[in-house]
Amino acid sequence: MTVQHHLTNDLLMAYSAGDLPEAVNLIVATHISLCDECRATLGSFDAVGGAVLDGCDTAAMSGNSLASVLDMIHAQDSKITARGPAQTDAADPVLPAPLRDYVEGGLDNVRWRPVGMGVKQAILPTTKDATARLLYIPAGTAIPDHGHKGMELTLVLKGAFQDEDGYFGRGDIEIASEDLNHTPVADISEDCICLAVTDAPLRFRGLMPRIAQPFLGI
């Protein structure tokens, strides 16, 4: 697998700094688990951040500071890490490790819901500042033409899709902004499974998708 479409440096730096919503953290961590190049870039940002911290002045801390920090870490599920080398899990070759915890296991545990034309989705439990969903798109099927009111990140986990922005296979991530209107079509050779994250509703052009949108949470 050769990843052709990567995360931006801005997203990787924000991930390193812990400044992203949980859903965005999830898709960044999942992509990093599949992409050697982005994982190496993230390592360099982590190193820079560590050097900056080393150069900061120290301050006196209260006796319960460590306990308070540990409580905050345990309470915040949004910090998802994927720093190690990419691994292939023979038990589930589709869902990388950062994602499996969100479906309580492998692909067989995903609770799909139909959204029309054979397409299915499963909304994952994350904080409300962004939404993460798994999408199952049958081979050759098109997602209705749409634009964006914010950012949409789409990571291919199985199969491939093509749109106005290019061809995306396993491990590739598409970063769509408000400037992009597109009609993703799953490759005819294989059903496509993606992880998609949005921080604002989509803008569908067709009447039927717009009617269904409030019920589907997209």
At residue 61, the pLDDT reads: 58
**Per-residue pLDDT tens over the stretch 81-123:** 555 554 545 567 899 999 998 988 889 899 999 998 899 999 9
Question: For tokens 């400044």, what's the residue?
Answer: 19
Q: Output the six-digit token pair for 40.
A: 């190496």
CATH number of 1-218: 2.60.120.10
**Average per-residue pLDDT for the chain:** 82
Q: Output the six-digit token pair for 85.
A: 């080398």
Q: Tell me how far apart the alpha carbons of residues 194 and 176 are, in angstroms, rounded to a whole number.
A: 14
At residue 69, the pLDDT reads: 42
Phi, psi for 132 (deg, rounded to 5): -115, 135
Q: Where are the domains of the chain?
A: 1-218
Q: For the residues of 39-101, what is the DSSP string, one character each?
A: HHHHHHHHHHHHHHHHTSPP----TTHHHHHHHHHHH-TT-----S-----TT-SSS-HHHHG
User: pLDDT-based confidence at 72, cuts 50/70/90?
Assistant: very low
Which of 168, 159, 4 is closest to 93 using CA atoms? 159
**Per-residue pLDDT tens over the stretch 198-212:** 988 766 666 666 666
Q: Output the six-digit token pair for 143.
A: 């997602």
Q: Where are the alpha helices (DSSP H) in the chain?
A: 9-17, 22-34, 36-54, 65-75, 97-100, 207-216
